[in-house]
Structure 1
Amino acid sequence: MSETERHPRPGDSLSVIVPVSERFDDTEALYRQYREALAQVAPEALFVYVLDGDFPDVEADLRRLIERGERLRLVRLGRWFGEATAMSVGFRETDSDWLLLLPAYHQVEPASLPLLFDNWQGEDMLVCRRWPRRDSWFNQWQTRLFHRLLHFASGSRTFHDLGCSVRLLSRRVVGEVQIYGDQHRFFPLLAERHGFRIREIDLPQSEEDLYRRLYRPGVYLRRMLDMLSVFFLLKFTKKPLRFFGLIGSGFITFGGVWLAALLAQRAFFGVPLADRPALLVSAFAIVLGVQVFSLGLLGELIIFTHAKDMKEYVIDEIVGGEEASSPEAEKEAVNR
């Protein structure tokens, strides 16, 4: 059975999610460009705009479009919650088999969107890379540096432009991968960790996406913390003792070696210990190491307790054999 037979084609049942969180361009003009481009592959696609807070100009434009009969839905959140939350709300507002994430501002040429559908070969998610890049060398340098750090932290070299928000994904990805905070950038990484098939597609960068992106220091710090959070989620979600145990063992080893050296000086060379701060520092390092190590053990106990409720894999296909029985049927068999 071919991939297209096992999974419906993206254009057959598609909803478009457009979260409006921080940036946005001319809403009506961009909507028209998106709609015109997708008319070739998904003419009946439902557009869902999720306003992450109060955006009166955007809301007014969308209300006018709805009044004109456009196939469009507007969802407005009570306050700012972050783009990941806006995306999740958009996912819940639709029941299509496929979802197309688009930004509320120009990133790729809208006319190139059909290439996503033309290049689909049965993957669970297609991620876009803006290529060739037309923006400044500073923007490109930031992107390369970010992804080098990300490749080092995650071990994945699949993605080269996670800053691009254009993504085509299957409904089952949404059902398995949960995101929160600012994790929308790392959504493909988390999906790849679950075993979904993901591929990166090159789309030409929009000529209107050329401004120089220079952020405040706090923004760069938050990006680094987000990357650290994703690193921990990818590597140690079910193995916390490896992370905390490594750090704790380092402190214990450091403190133990230093303390042994101090005791050797006292025993063989008569060096007094009473007035030496090094004794307190080495003892503190050992105690700190034991506490950090204990955090890892506590994490392992929590993971063990909830392991049956944690699912980090997806089944792509089952071939042959008898049909699996339902949980209700199994319970009835046990009760007999």
Structure 2
Amino acid sequence: MTVAQVLVTGATGFVGEALVFRLLLDKKFIPVAAVRGVTRLSGLCRVVPFNLNGSKMLPSLEDIQVVVHCAARVHVMNEMETDALAEFRRINVDGTVRLARKAAESGVKRFIFISSIKVNGESTAPGSPFKAGDHPAAVDPYGISKQEAEDALRQLSLDTRMEVVIIRPPLVYGPGVKANFLSMMKWLDKGVPLPLGAIHNQRSLVAIDNLVDLAVTCIDHPAAANNTFLVSDGEYLSTTELLRRMARALGKKPRLLPVPQMMLNLAASIMGKQSIAQRLCGSLHVDIDQTHKLLGWSPPVNIERALRQTADYYRDKQTK
């Protein structure tokens, strides 16, 4: 039987690279890394140039059976574009549709799109987690662009024979994580006092190994075709509990000050940092029951192990 070739876009990114390494280890599929620049994957698998900016940088897909599309213009804290939504649409919608259309024309069987939980919205109420069947409620430009890309892919699937699978992860962490999660580890490692010792929200996260495992499951699972899946570690944490567990994984004692959440929200409002307060104090709880029921999938890595792996990688990098 011919082994399926799987094109992974964004293979120099956090998720894409981890997926390629997983496919190399599994040997069940043949990964093809689609990259925009230099990659350490060269010599390990076939590498092809790729850029979402234009059709001239789309790779040949004639021998590809499945595409896992991880590349995207990601959410940024300090947006520099005057029209952020237009820029997100140019990359995340137009670029995705160009790639998917070429995939359909080339006979690709399945197109897996790594979307975002931001398509569901920015926050959840207590006891009301996001579900895969919820009506989309994207708010910011990044989430809106992902929602519009999902809609376009579903229509393309109806117009062609190509199956589309959509995966919506919340915050992804693991060895090599950057941005806010890395900043959090640095604060804990240095013993910086944090006014986050009394936050009682519900936040779902997903370890990179769990997200990659679901993506691999969706490559050939019959029930994945034309479905949308939410993914998480299967457990939610408050911001306070996450900081405590991450500190424990780092071998540190957290210095968490029990500042009332109302005071944090007020201070953030005065400074115009409401979005930061929302991420720290608000809830975003993800229900993965449908993912389990349709695919028989459960996260293979628990939070404690994933945090420990993340901390070990961080400490190793700090000593080099």
| Normalised-by-shorter TM-score class | under 0.3
User: Which structure has the bigger radius of gyration?
Assistant: 1
- Using the size of structure 2 for normalisation, the TM-score is 0.23
More helix by share: 1
- Using the size of structure 1 for normalisation, the TM-score is 0.23
